[in-house]
Amino acid sequence: MINSKLCDLLGIEYPVFQGGMAWISDGKLAAAVSNGGGLGIIAAGNAPGSYVREQIHIAASLTNKPFGVNIMLLSPFVDEVAQVVAEEKVSVVTTGAGNPTKYMALWKNAGIHVIPVVPSVSMAKLVTRLGADALIAEGGESGGHIGELTTMVLVPQVCDATDLPVIAAGGIADGRGMAAAFMLGACGVQLGTRFLVAEECSVHPNYKDKILKASDLSTITTGKRLGHPVRSLKTPFSRALFEAEYSDISDEELELMGTGKLALAARDGDLQNGCFLAGQIAGMVKKEQPAAEIIREICEGAEPLLKGAAAWVK
């Protein structure tokens, strides 16, 4: 059975995190993942504190296992959400899309395990100094807001830069990805796209359908001009946004084009105007399954690969 120091640190059975996906990862999905032995994570996204508190209560009513909340640091509600997770004393907070320095003391004092997403070695060093408990090295194969580096180059460099447990994210959807991440020095993995099609995920069926039908070349990166690259599935909307970036429209108009489009995809399944965030690994995600089955399959797939690694050495 796959086990790592991350399991002991967080009190989980399998070192598998479900990535916080804005508008998608709610209390129900997080509880299903945690009940399956992984770490379920509620996404705060751009939602207010009241929504996050409600989802924490839903998750707590469905599981007695640890779960986490992902805080998107660009959110207009970030201050109140930071307070809510401290009051609710969730087991784990992960952060994304920014620098968590301002909130570290608040969360540490509440006894929360703080696990920031880092897109670079410098951010890994910073959060290590600040007292993070572990970190997530997320490569640009991921869906949503992405950094510059790929998982293959980011994970080993982050592992060299910190003594903290490192969770690899970006481009991982099965046991092979997990085994590879462990070979790069990670002791856990985080998956978003594969959990998006979990049975317990309440996202609009059109969103799941688009993931299940995706191929290797189905994603596109937009937002580079405005300094926040975002990976999503190719749709009429994302292609238009991509083209607009290279036109002479103003930054303000461009920003406006992207606003609210994730909700249109996740809540309404709007195939024309929605922004369907997804990782490059979407092409390998072919089946809707219970979250617990996904976790078991990934770990059972990685186990023989890691055990058999000695076969490569004479």
Shortest spacing between CB 86 and ligand TUI, in angstroms: 20
- What gap in Å lies between CA 83 and CA 85, rounded to an integer? 6
**Per-residue contact string for residues 225-264; x = within reach of ligand TUI by CB under 6 A:** ---x-x----------------------------------
Per CB under 6 A, the list member of 30, 52, 123, 191 interacting with ligand TUI is 123
CB nearer ligand TUI, residue 22 or residue 292: 22
Which stretch in 137-145, 159-167, 210-218, 295-303 sits in contact with ligand TUI by CB under 6 A?
A: 137-145
Which stretch in 61-69, 82-90, 144-152, 302-310 sits in contact with ligand TUI by CB under 6 A?
A: 144-152
Instruction: Kindly state whether residue 141 participates in binding ligand TUI, applying the rule CB under 6 A.
Output: no
Instruction: Kindly state whether residue 27 participates in binding ligand TUI, applying the rule CB under 6 A.
Output: no
**Per-residue contact string for residues 267-286; x = within reach of ligand TUI by CB under 6 A:** ----------x---------
Phi-psi region of 6 (alpha: psi -120 to 50; beta: other; left: phi over 0): alpha
CB nearer ligand TUI, residue 95 or residue 289: 95
Helices (H), the chain: 5-10, 27-35, 49-62, 78-88, 104-109, 121-129, 151-161, 175-183, 193-196, 205-213, 236-245, 251-258, 261-266, 291-307
For residue 259, with 0-12 CB atoms within 10 Å meaning exposed, 13-18 middle and 19 or more buried, which class applies?
exposed
CB neighbours (10 Å) of residue 294? 27
84, two tokens: 């809510």
Instruction: Kindly state whether residue 74 participates in binding ligand TUI, applying the rule CB under 6 A.
Output: yes
Residue 239: partners with Cβ closer than 8 Å, 6 or more residues away: 220
| Binding positions for ligand TUI, rule: CB under 6 A | 22, 45, 72, 74, 96-99, 117, 119, 123, 138, 144-147, 228, 230, 277
